Amino acid sequence: MSDLLERLRERGWRLTAQRRVVAEVLDGDHVHYTADEVHARAVERLPEISRATVYNTLGELVSIGEVVEVSTDGRAKRYDPNAHHAHQHLICSRCGTIRDVHPLGDPLSDLPDAERFGFVVSQVEVTYRGLCPGCHS
User: What is the contact surface with Zn ion in residues (CB under 5 A)?
Assistant: 80, 82, 92, 94-95, 97, 100, 132, 135
CB of 129 to Zn ion, least distance (A): 11
| 119 vs 54: CA distance, rounded Å | 36
Give 66 or 80: the residue with its C-beta nearer to Zn ion: 80
- Please enumerate, by residue number, every residue annotated as part of a binding site: 92, 95, 132, 135
CB of 75 to Zn ion, least distance (A): 15
How far CA 32 is from CA of 48, 96, 109, in Å, comes to 23, 10, 27
- Please enumerate, by residue number, every residue annotated as part of a binding site for Zn(2+): 92, 95, 132, 135
Give 57 or 80: the residue with its C-beta nearer to Zn ion: 80
Q: Which residues contact 72 (CB under 8 A, 6 or more apart)?
A: 32, 78, 89, 91, 96, 98, 127
